[in-house]
């Protein structure tokens, strides 16, 4: 700017010291050159000033934080919650399929099983009736076999023997089924525990770092994932438990019906 003003001052002094003719000659030859030079210098000055002002008011570029999530690290962070839930789910699935197979086997029975038992008893072939029960290998057959072995004794003794064997068979069918009920209740509770622990971590992160979503993300994921996993495992175990209980009820009803039928055979008058 000082340079521009100096050139303007020199030009003014030259104009004052020259007469009209010389002035006209100089103006015709140099006026445009001086005007162009002064104008260009002024434009460069404005450009530099605007550049400096723009740098002064510009905000620094911020680098967006990375949104990549290390799922393995987040999983290991809540392993003390996930691992028990996964173990419960594996055991629950195993028990369901193992008990389902055992119950299906218990429900199988030859259509004429009781007719053959009745025929053998009426004919006095108790050994043949026992052999039939031994080869059938079902809860009903074992219960009837026990009753046949008590034939000749008091009817109350026969009924008590059948009832005791029936209780043992029911206990065998219900083996480990109660674990499903435990799993159905424990898995969601573990998930709730993980939720509480995760929220404690969230509030601690807010206390230390302020409301920063990046620092709170891990604890929030722990809170949500443990709840989801717990509910999934709990639902599976709950459905499996009620399914098995219903099927065991069918076996019990069948055993009771066959026991009554067997007592009726014994109480029928012989010809």
Same domain, 100 and 26: no
pLDDT in tens, 102-119: 999 888 877 788 888 888
Is 56 domain-assigned? no
Q: How many Cβ atoms are within 10 Å of 42's Cβ, its own excluded? A: 12
Give 250's pLDDT tier (boundaries 50, 70, 90): very high
Burial of residue 240 (CB within 10 Å: 0-12, 13-18, 19+) is buried
Same domain for 157 and 42: no
Domain co-membership, 45 together with 82: no
CB count within 10 Å of CB 142 equals 18
Residue 35 has pLDDT above 50, yes or no: no
pLDDT tens-digit readout, 160-215: 999 999 999 999 999 899 999 999 999 999 988 888 888 887 777 777 777 766 66
Taking 80 as the threshold, does the pLDDT of residue 227 lie above it?
Answer: yes
User: What is the number of structural domains in the chain?
Assistant: 2
Which of 63-67, 136-140, 219-223 holds the top average pLDDT? 136-140
63 in a domain, yes or no?
no
Q: Is residue 53 over pLDDT 50?
A: no
Q: Within this chain, do residues 40 and 97 fall inside the same structural domain, yes or no? A: no
Count Cβ atoms within 10 A of the Cβ of residue 229 and give its class: 0-12 exposed, 13-18 middle, 19 or more buried. Answer: buried
Alpha carbon distance 171, 176 (integer Å): 10
Over 70: is that where the pLDDT of 136 sits?
A: yes
Mean pLDDT estimate for the chain: 76
Domain membership of residue 60 (yes or no) is no
pLDDT > 50? residue 217: yes
Residue 258 above 70 pLDDT?
A: yes
Query: Quick one: pLDDT at residue 57?
Result: 44
Q: Is residue 57 in a domain?
A: no
**pLDDT at residue 42, as a whole number:** 46
Domain check: are 81 and 138 in the same one? yes
Quick one: pLDDT at residue 41? Answer: 56
Q: Identify the residue whose tokens are 């393995």.
A: 72
- Nearest CA to 92 out of 178, 173, 194 is that of 178
For position 235, what pLDDT does the model report? 94
Q: Residues 6 or more apart from 29 whose CB is under 8 A from it?
A: none
Q: What angle do CA 82, 85, 90 make, to 5 degrees?
A: 120
- In which domain, by residue range, is 36 found? 2-51
118 in the same domain as 163 = yes
- 45 and 77 both lie in a single domain: no
The dihedral over CA atoms of 220, 223, 229, 233, expressed in degrees to the nearest 10, equals -170
Same domain for 122 and 235: yes
Please check whether residue 65 lies inside any domain of the structure: no
Q: Are residues 165 and 215 in the same domain?
A: yes
Q: How many whole angstroms separate alpha carbon 80 and alpha carbon 191?
A: 11
In a domain, 189, yes or no: yes
Task: Compare 216 and 267 and report the one with higher pLDDT.
Answer: 267
More confident residue, 56 or 231: 231
Question: Residue 58 — very low, low, confident or very high, per pLDDT cuts 50/70/90?
Answer: very low
Q: Does residue 257 lie within any of the structural domains?
A: yes
- pLDDT for 120: 87
pTM of the full predicted structure? 0.66
Cα–Cα distance list, 63 to 60, 66, 196, 205, 217 (Å) = 10, 9, 33, 22, 19
């Amino acid at each position: 700017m000082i340079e521009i003003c100096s050139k303007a001052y020199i030009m003014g002094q030259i104009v004052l010291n020259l007469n009209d003719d010389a002035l006209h000659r100089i103006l015709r030859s140099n006026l445009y050159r001086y005007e162009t030079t002064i104008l260009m210098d002024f434009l460069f000055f404005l450009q530099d000033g605007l550049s400096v002002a723009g740098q002064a008011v510009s905000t620094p570029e911020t680098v967006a934080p990375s949104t990549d999530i290390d799922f393995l690290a987040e999983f290991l962070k809540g392993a003390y919650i996930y691992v028990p839930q996964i173990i419960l789910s594996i055991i629950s699935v195993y028990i369901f399929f193992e008990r389902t197979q055992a119950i299906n086997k218990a429900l199988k029975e030859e259509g004429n099983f009781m007719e053959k038992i009745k025929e053998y008893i009426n004919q006095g072939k108790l050994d043949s009736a026992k052999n039939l029960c031994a080869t059938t290998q079902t809860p009903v057959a074992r219960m009837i076999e026990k009753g046949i072995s008590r034939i000749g004794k008091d009817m109350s003794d026969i009924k008590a023997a059948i009832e005791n064997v029936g209780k043992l068979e029911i206990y065998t069918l219900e083996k480990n089924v109660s674990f499903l009920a435990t799993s159905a209740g424990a898995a969601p509770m573990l998930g709730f525990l993980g939720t509480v622990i995760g929220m404690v971590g969230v509030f601690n992160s807010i206390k230390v770092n302020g409301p920063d979503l990046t620092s709170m993300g891990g604890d929030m994921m722990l809170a949500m994932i443990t709840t989801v996993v717990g509910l999934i495992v709990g639902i599976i175990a709950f459905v499996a438990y009620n399914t098995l209980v219903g099927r065991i009820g069918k076996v019990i009803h069948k055993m009771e019906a066959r026991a009554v039928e067997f007592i009726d055979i014994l109480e029928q008058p012989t010809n």
